[in-house]
Amino acid sequence: MAYQAESYETIVIGAGHAGCEAALATARKGHKTLLLAINLDSVAMMPCNPSIGGTGKGHLVREIDALGGEMGKNIDATMIQCKMLNTGKGPAVHSLRAQADKKAYQFRMKEVIENTPNLTLRQQEATKLIIEDRHIRGVQVRTGAIYACETCVVCTGTYLNGKIFMGEVQYDGGPNGMFPAQFLSDSLREAGFDLQRFKTGTPARVDEKTLDYSKMKVQKGDDEITPFSFETEAIDIDQIDCYLTYTNEATHKIIRDNLERSPLVTGDVVGVGPRYCPSIETKVMRFADKDHHQMFMEPEGLHTREVYVQGMSSCLPEEVQIALYRTVPGMEHVQFMRSAYAIEYDCIHPTALKATLESKDIHGLFFAGQINGTSGYEEAGAQGIVAGINAGLYLEKAEPMILDRSQAYIGVLIDDIINEDANEPYRMMTSRAEYRLLLRQDNADLRLTPIGRRVGLISDERYTHFLEKKAAIEKEKERLRTTTVSPTDTVNDVLKEMGTTPLSSGMPMAQLLKRPEIAYESLKPIDSKRPELSKQVKEEVEIQLKYEGYIQKQDRQVVQFKKLEEKRIPEGIDYTDIQGLRLEAIEKLKSVRPMSIGQASRISGVNPADIAVLHVYLENHRELFKND
Ligand SMILES: Cc1cc2nc3c(=O)[nH]c(=O)nc-3n(C[C@H](O)[C@H](O)[C@H](O)COP(=O)(O)OP(=O)(O)OC[C@H]3O[C@@H](n4cnc5c(N)ncnc54)[C@H](O)[C@@H]3O)c2cc1C
Ligand SMILES: NC(=O)c1ccc[n+]([C@@H]2O[C@H](COP(=O)([O-])OP(=O)(O)OC[C@H]3O[C@@H](n4cnc5c(N)ncnc54)[C@H](O)[C@@H]3O)[C@@H](O)[C@H]2O)c1
């Protein structure tokens, strides 16, 4: 029977990576928050790979941290191996990636949540949203309790009507043996949300005792670990090793021989999977010319012998999985601890959301994470903090926080998903960010910590520290610009040693640093007045000076971009009134309801001619919308 339980300012449904960030943000902003999870053992659970970060995703974690979120600190405290990826390329695409001790990651996040004031964690399955007059009023759970609320953030991940696939074996289920959420989808439909079906998959977890690492290539972590959080000073741990091995023709033959038993081929799986994390059977079909694929053995923690087999996601029947894994060098006698499977789940069309992640139609109702059609822990965490901050600002009747494409990868992510109805799970990649020279992982704090401060998530102490760092960067840049290096014999000897042209006349140190062969550290012998600076400050000074020309060029592009973003489109606009707009554009604009000309220009199906028409219309009707 239903009964009235406590009231909260915010209810967050789901305690995965999105839900944890969302609930922490609202509670830290001082709002009484209830965080619900189907099972408390699912708090910050990683149902797939035991890692945080990676290309593009590492940037997101840095940004979450810069805004005052938890993911960066959590992985810093629980990592067991760390690597900066892409160091052979420019700093814009350097990306941190760390292996986590999966259980330690969950325990620490749960502990932080349990000890955060204003935050209540509860094992309950949300079954119904209570909506009145287009406002969220409460959430009903499976036990009958009705919790009242003013705002709600839905972060249900891959649980909604979850269905598991392993060959012909198919059953209702959530990730990693959890049970699925089978009621909330109907409530979302009743509230007017159109749901779609996506799918994802995971490889087997195998028993380390049955692996022969001597037949694989060892993969070490970095000698010096770069932390994710700007607040972590240093990380000094004994890192574990990962191992690399490869599939071969025998593996591929087993896959090809059993393809007709794959639910991907039989058509049983109707959901669309993530293009950039294909299953091994998809890789073998799609890249038929490749005779091998790489597989990484990643230990799942320090207190377990379970090993995650990266690259071998599959939904073939269990006995086929075991046979194909055993064709791989070092895995001849492998024993499974958990089998690979695919999962299909319901998610909404994120075009139903504003850039704040609030529903366009129901006030106070926000969505974040995989429910919005994205994939990945980091994408989920990034949306979680934005939705949490905005739910808090909504309660405070304050201006919402919207990050644009020139400010953050988080801005790119949200702008992409709300404007384009993606027909596959969305994964962040550096190539999606057009201003990626500005959106580096090293400067996430410079870009976002002032915003985190404004919304109330950055403490006085952290902010003071941040301002000191910023001032130190500016001071050192100025010193290098005004310090001239003279063409003495000593200087030219040092330069020759670095393989760069000697000087014939004096040159500012900053100018010298622009040469590709020269690093900030290497100038030390000819820079006697150099102050003691932190590694972070030195890195920032070097990047900002070295790439100054390119950065300035992107800054100019951003000015143009902002002009279009600032051209607001009034909420009350009636697109059918605008002569010259094509029918397709009218439909798309009516459905997305862009806030600016800039946003309108990124909607697929709205072309430059439509934008020109819209522009002219707004100019001619400025009076009409002056109070809108
Ligand atoms: C098999 C599989 C493979 C994946 N592969 C990867 C991968 O390799 N790497 C990667 O980064 N991502 C992977 N993902 C996706 C990754 O798990 C998600 O992107 C990420 O966890 C999403 O975070 P989230 O917070 O949106 O949801 P989740 O982490 O799924 O958390 C959802 C939370 O909502 C709760 N919940 C759901 N419904 C209700 C309800 N009705 N009431 C109360 N609580 C509810 C759950 O208990 C849980 O706490 C995979 C997922 C699965 C299942
Ligand atoms: N939500 C989903 O549906 C879903 C499903 C599967 C995967 N994913 C995403 O895919 C990502 C995994 O994808 P990926 O396969 O491209 O890998 P990745 O992004 O984690 O790693 C990128 C590259 O790093 C290198 N690398 C990985 N592990 C390493 C190790 N232990 N040692 C040394 N080098 C290593 C490899 O070259 C690898 O291809 C996850 O971060 C996740 O977000 C999402």
In a domain, 93, yes or no: yes
Phi/psi for 148 (5° steps) reads -85, 150
466: domain range?
460-553
In a domain, 560, yes or no: no
Same domain (yes/no): 449, 514: no
478-505 burial code (b ≥16 CB/10 A, e <16): ebbeebebeeeeebbebbeeeebeeeee
**pLDDT confidence of 274, banded at 50, 70, 90?**
confident
In a domain, 40, yes or no: yes
Q: Where are the alpha helices (DSSP H) in 81-216?
A: 102-114, 184-190
Q: 621 versus 171: which is more confidently predicted?
A: 171
Same domain (yes/no): 439, 464: no
Same domain (yes/no): 218, 329: yes
Predicted confidence (pLDDT) at residue 514 exceeds the cutoff of 90: yes
Find the CATH number of the domain harbouring 362: 3.50.50.60
pLDDT at res. 511: 95
Atom of ligand 2 nearest to the CA of 49: 40
**Tokens (6 digits) for 360:** 């366009």
- Residues in contact with 620: Cβ distance below 8 Å, sequence separation at least 6, in sequence order: none
Angle between helices 377-395 and 17-28 (to 10 degrees): 30
In a domain, 559, yes or no: no
- Residues in contact with 23: Cβ distance below 8 Å, sequence separation at least 6, in sequence order: 10, 12, 15, 33, 35, 113, 119, 153, 388
Same domain (yes/no): 401, 477: no
From the CA of 204, the nearest ligand is 1
Same domain (yes/no): 169, 115: yes
pLDDT at res. 604: 84
Q: 605 versus 315: which is more confidently predicted?
A: 315
Same domain (yes/no): 22, 122: yes
Atom of ligand 2 nearest to the CA of 273: 3
pLDDT at res. 505: 93
pLDDT at res. 96: 92
Same domain (yes/no): 549, 578: no
User: What is the 169 CA–ligand 1 centroid distance (Å)?
Assistant: 22
Q: How far apart are CA 492 and CA 405, in angstroms?
A: 44
Taking residues 351-375, report their average pLDDT: 97
**pLDDT confidence of 112, banded at 50, 70, 90?**
very high
pLDDT at res. 455: 98
**Tokens (6 digits) for 154:** 């839905």
Q: How far is CA 495 from CA 483, 543, 548, in A?
A: 17, 20, 22
Identity of residue 176: N
Number of domains in the chain: 4
Identity of residue 206: V
Same domain (yes/no): 30, 115: yes
Q: For all residues of the chain together, what is the average pLDDT?
A: 94
Taking residues 526-530, report their average pLDDT: 90
Q: Using CA of residue 455, residue 461, residue 467, residue 473, what is the dihedral sign?
A: negative
User: What is the 334 CA–ligand 1 centroid distance (Å)?
Assistant: 28
pLDDT at res. 203: 97
Predicted confidence (pLDDT) at residue 452 exceeds the cutoff of 60: yes
Tens-digit pLDDT profile for residues 381-397: 999 999 999 999 999 99
pLDDT at res. 256: 94
Contact in structure between 410 and 47 (CB atoms under 8 Å)? no
Taking residues 566-581, report their average pLDDT: 89
Find the CATH number of the domain harbouring 512: 1.10.10.1800
In a domain, 626, yes or no: no
Predicted confidence (pLDDT) at residue 169 exceeds the cutoff of 90: yes
**pLDDT confidence of 9, banded at 50, 70, 90?**
very high
Same domain (yes/no): 336, 350: no
Domain boundary, last residue among 312, 341, 370: 341
Nearest to 458 by CA among 117, 230, 119, 234: 230
Domain boundary, last residue among 317, 341, 365: 341
pLDDT at res. 628: 54
In a domain, 627, yes or no: no
Tens-digit pLDDT profile for residues 33-83: 999 999 999 999 999 999 999 989 999 999 999 999 999 999 999 999 999
Same domain (yes/no): 152, 182: yes
User: What is the 54 CA–ligand 2 centroid distance (Å)?
Assistant: 7
Taking residues 197-222, report their average pLDDT: 96
pLDDT at res. 79: 98
Identity of residue 559: V
Find the CATH number of the domain harbouring 267: 2.40.30.260
Q: Annotated binding residues for NAD(+), as ranges?
A: 273-287
Same domain (yes/no): 523, 583: no
pLDDT at res. 270: 77
**pLDDT confidence of 627, banded at 50, 70, 90?**
low
Same domain (yes/no): 133, 195: yes
